[in-house]
Amino acid sequence: MRGILFMALQDFLESGLEPGGLWEPAAVAAGLQGREYDPEEEYPDEEMEQLILAAARMTRGSREKILESFGRHIAPGLLDMGASLGLLQEGWTTLDLVEHLNTALHPAVMPEVEESPGIRTLRLSLGEVAIAYFSKRRMCFFLKGLLQGFADHFAQPLVIREPVCQIQGAPFCRISVILDDPELLRRIDIPREFGRIAREKEELKFFNQLRGAPVAFSGWVVSFTADEVVVHCHPDQIAAMLDEGRTTIAAPHMALGMIAAVKEATPSQGQAVLHRLVLADGPVGRRENDRVAPHRPVIVQCLVDERSIKGELINISTGGVSFRLAGEDVLDDSLLFANVSGELTLHFVGERKGDKGGSGAGGIRWMEAGELIGPQRVVFGGNLLELQDDGNRPMARVVFSRMDPSSRRIVDHYVHQRLVEAQSGPGESR
């Protein structure tokens, strides 16, 4: 561990716990009396552990409490150092720092980054980041204190949950970091969400009422900034937006809908400028990504952090895919939230109606325009969200983050088709 952390611990023990300081007594108790630390040199992890345990005994507290207080104490200095090194971007706040822990705080500043991938992060929403922590140092409480220190600095209260922890015998720690601010939690991260919508050419669905009649047309993103979005849609929809002063939006990749205020609208051009976007309530705000099982075996091939993996599809939704690992392939917990690129082939078949309503020999109906049939290749990118082992072959869940429009259309159609088959009952399904 770097000497700069020992020097920070000395400052903490001298000023952050009790009058008179604990550094000298702790150093004596740890057998490190007179030990001096150079900020650029490396020192045994055991020395840090001995000092922490000595301080815990003297304060009649726990190792975890000392680590958490130490993390909170050191946070302002780390932020200052990160800013002076140019590692922090202008406009970042608490969760931006959490999302970019591995890059925002250089290994020379934050010890846990030295053991890459000791920490992995995944931004789940504007108001939530998930952390997977794997370090052999078992200093997750230091990390949680650091997060609280960031929250203190930006005056943004956090809720930190750790359902899985190394200290309780787990192979890694899984930490959820959530903004404790209902208003902020409802805000939409426009560059993040609409950047994806524009990149993948997703079609949006808008919902309004005009003179008491529902109006719901599809449209698309023209452009966006950090604060507003320009959309194009049917003139009737734009007129309804203008009349109501707002609109409700459904995006294919989002489990929740959005509500936006209308800043400007020109029905004749089919264009509107939307701002003040927040998560919606009501039916459009409570959509779930239905998971469907394949009707025949489907092989999933992935590259997980440059490791080639193959598996058999368990289920798929518009938001992600689950599969069981094949053969000797192994994924360990250190790959949680790692980047994934993969592909699979979904099979579509014409619906057989028998003699009832069928057309032509064998009762196979004609395919509708634009309908998919035969094998269709899906290419996706995402993150490894979950690993489970139920005693059979291990299971992996990948959440989609990137998908070309063709692949997204294939997945949308496949999920819809399988849901229709499930609802039609055994006698009608293929």
Domain boundaries for CATH 3.90.1520.10 within the chain? 68-187
Which among 132, 94, 140, 95 has a CA at the least distance from the CA of 116?
Answer: 132
Say which CATH topology domain 299-424 has. Thrombin, subunit H (2.40.10)
Task: Write down the residue that tokens 């931004």 correspond to.
Answer: 123
Domain with CATH 2.40.10.10 in the chain: 194-286
Global confidence as pTM: 0.72
For the domain spanning 68-187, the CATH number is 3.90.1520.10
Domain boundaries 194-286, corresponding CATH code: 2.40.10.10
The rounded distance, in Å, linking the Cα atoms of 261 and 246 is: 4
Q: Which residues contact 39 (CB under 8 A, 6 or more apart)?
A: 2, 3, 4, 7
Looking at the chain, which residues constitute the CATH 2.40.10.220 domain(s)? 299-424
User: From first to last of its 430 residues, what are the pLDDT tens digits of the chain?
Assistant: 888 889 999 999 988 666 668 899 999 999 998 899 998 888 999 999 999 999 999 989 899 999 999 999 999 988 888 888 777 888 888 999 999 887 776 444 444 444 444 888 988 877 889 999 988 888 999 999 999 999 999 999 999 999 989 888 888 899 999 998 887 778 888 988 898 898 888 899 999 988 778 899 999 999 999 999 999 999 999 999 999 999 999 887 776 789 999 999 999 999 999 999 988 765 455 445 678 999 899 999 999 988 899 999 999 988 899 999 987 777 877 888 889 999 999 998 764 444 344 444 343 444 444 566 789 999 999 999 888 876 678 899 998 888 888 898 899 889 888 888 877 655 444 4
**Cβ atoms within 10 A of the Cβ of 375, count?**
10
